[in-house]
């Protein structure tokens, strides 16, 4: 049923072009743990990085469903690239709804995304803090200087896109006795910022999620995007809540789709010596393919239809909010199950490093640890019906 409009079709075709282009080097970057700068140069050149920027800021104004569809396609070419660029889209998509930044900063940064293809990401996780989703005050701190400005010091982990970021939207404690935390728009080219290449994960090895170190980095008051306090929290508009979970869901299901494609082609071409036909005629193989395909169909339907409902029926966001965790966790579970089935179909050779299937098998495991993690999603569901 998708695409459903000419505009959606154009973005889908662009994403398929990206997937084809990046697939040729994705295995090398996975093997080396290197960042695919050329993937982002290609996306920048064809204007994909500006996809989520609203028309009112000069962008194409693609919505959540449009980008979810395109992210699914890009992930068939490289999961790491899809997951990484999804973080960038998420920042733009959620801020377009929340409008928490100063108007002048939003206008400037969105304009730079359109004209220059700059990249953004929220940089929040820390070695001791873990994910900010769990609460807690960051160790990274903003300390007042004697001239009315600030110094930023600290270390951030899991900083996806670090080697290519233009702006790191940095989560920090404000050390001025207010008890506030803040998000500051930090340009990565500033003096005192360094990247320590710590990212050596089993999954999504090419996201460049290294540590970013801030040492006496000068920050001005106009760089503050917003401040908040645990005793008087600022609640974001509910409309942006779906962007992060659905982006990660699309990336992981796209990887599962790549595993499905590989298993299908393998089964149709693999003909053991002495056999009269390919393994696609073996009843067990056909059963596994049927099971794999049914999981992918239902998962895609679940994800894409939910995204459409979220966009089309904002008056029901309160009712749909609990379902976000269900959609995300079930998408990841399905992606894992699909890659498992693909390896069963292909057999032991699917574990060989020279084939992409073992990379797909590894990559989809990363989604287990993107928020909302299963424990929090299940607690949210339980709370919604018990409390």
> Whole-model pTM?
0.95
- Predicted pLDDT at 234: 67
Q: Which residue segments constitute the domains of the chain, with CATH numbers given?
A: 6-118 (1.10.540.10), 123-228 (2.40.110.10), 238-386 (1.20.140.10)
In terms of C-beta distances under 8 Å and separation of at least 24 residues, what long-range contacts does 100-104 make, across chains too?
A: 100/225, 100/226, 100/234, 100/236, 101/185, 101/225, 101/226, 102/222, 102/225
Cα–Cα dist 347/266, whole Å: 10
> Which one, of 383, 241, 258, 252, lies nearest residue 329 by Cα?
252
List the structure tokens of 265. 């082609």
Q: Which helix (H) or strand (E) holds 193?
A: strand 193-196
Give the pLDDT of the chain (387 residues) as one tens digit per residue: 789 999 999 999 999 999 999 999 999 999 999 999 999 999 999 999 999 999 999 999 999 999 999 999 999 999 999 999 999 999 999 999 999 999 999 999 999 999 999 999 999 999 888 666 666 899 999 999 999 999 999 999 999 999 999 999 999 999 998 999 999 999 999 999 999 999 999 999 999 999 999 999 999 999 999 999 877 766 778 889 999 999 999 999 999 999 999 999 999 999 888 888 999 999 999 999 999 999 999 999 999 999 999 999 999 999 999 999 999 999 999 999 999 999 999 999 999 999 999 999 999 999 999 999 889 999 988 998 898
Cα–Cα dist 295/291, whole Å: 6
Strand pairing report for 120-123 and 167-174: parallel
3-state SS record for 252-295: HHHHHHHHHHHHHHHHHHCCCCCCCCCHHHCHHHHHHHHHHHHH
> Which one, of 7, 96, 91, lies nearest residue 54 by Cα?
96
Structural contact between residues 208 and 164, judged by C-beta atoms closer than 8 angstroms: yes
DSSP symbol at 156: E
Structural contact between residues 240 and 93, judged by C-beta atoms closer than 8 angstroms: yes
- Predicted pLDDT at 236: 75
> Any residues with CB less than 8 A from the CB of 181 and at least 6 apart, and which?
137, 138, 171, 172, 173, 174, 227, 228, 229, 230
In terms of C-beta distances under 8 Å and separation of at least 24 residues, what long-range contacts does 95-98 make, across chains too?
A: 95/240, 96/52, 96/53, 96/54, 97/237, 97/239, 97/240, 98/236, 98/237, 98/239, 98/240
- Predicted pLDDT at 130: 61
> Which one, of 174, 84, 68, 159, lies nearest residue 122 by Cα?
159
> Which one, of 162, 163, 334, lies nearest residue 260 by Cα?
334
Question: How long, in residues, is the chain?
Answer: 387
- Predicted pLDDT at 132: 66
- Predicted pLDDT at 1: 79
List the structure tokens of 291. 């099971």
DSSP symbol at 2: -
DSSP symbol at 234: P
Cα–Cα dist 360/250, whole Å: 14
- Predicted pLDDT at 135: 66
> Any residues with CB less than 8 A from the CB of 23 and at least 6 apart, and which?
76, 77, 78
């Amino acid at each position: 049923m998708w695409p459903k409009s000419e505009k959606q079709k154009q973005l889908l075709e662009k994403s398929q072009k990206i997937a084809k282009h990046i697939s040729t080097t994705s295995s090398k970057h996975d093997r080396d743990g290197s960042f695919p700068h050329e993937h982002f140069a290609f996306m920048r050149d064809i204007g994909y990085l500006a996809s989520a920027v609203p028309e009112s800021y000069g962008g194409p104004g693609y919505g959540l469903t449009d980008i979810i569809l395109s992210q699914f396609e890009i992930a068939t070419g490289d999961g790491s690239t899809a997951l990484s660029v999804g973080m960038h889209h998420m920042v733009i998509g959620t801020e377009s709804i929340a409008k928490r930044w100063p108007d002048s900063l939003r206008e400037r940064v969105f304009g730079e995304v359109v004209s220059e293809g700059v990249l953004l990401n929220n940089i929040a996780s820390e070695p001791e803090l873990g994910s900010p989703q769990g609460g807690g005050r960051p160790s990274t701190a903003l300390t007042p200087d004697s001239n009315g400005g600030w110094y930023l010091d600290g270390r951030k982990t899991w900083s996806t896109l670090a080697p290519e970021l233009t702006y790191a939207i940095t989560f920090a404690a404000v050390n001025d006795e207010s008890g506030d935390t803040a998000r500051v728009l930090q340009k990565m080219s500033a003096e005192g910022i360094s990247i320590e290449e710590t990212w050596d994960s089993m999954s999504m090895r090419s996201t460049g999620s290294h540590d970013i170190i801030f040492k006496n980095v000068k920050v001005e008051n106009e760089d503050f995007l917003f401040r908040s306090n645990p005793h008087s929290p600022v609640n974001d508009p509910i409309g942006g809540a779906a962007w992060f979970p659905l982006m990660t869901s699309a990336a992981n299901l796209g990887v599962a789709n790549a595993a499905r494609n590989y298993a299908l082609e393998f089964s149709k071409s693999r003909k053991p010596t002495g056999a009269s036909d390919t393994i696609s005629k073996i009843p067990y193989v056909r059963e596994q393919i049927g099971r794999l395909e049914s999981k992918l169909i239902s998962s895609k339907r679940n994800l894409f239809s939910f995204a459409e409902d979220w966009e089309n029926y904002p008056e029901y966001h309160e009712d749909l909010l609990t379902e976000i965790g269900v959609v995300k966790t079930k998408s990841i579970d399905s992606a894992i199950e699909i890659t498992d089935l693909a390896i069963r179909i292909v057999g032991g050779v699917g574990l060989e490093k020279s084939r992409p299937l073992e990379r797909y098998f590894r990559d989809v495991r990363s989604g287990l640890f993107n928020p909302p993690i299963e424990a929090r999603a299940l607690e949210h569901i339980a709370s919604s019906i018990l409390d």
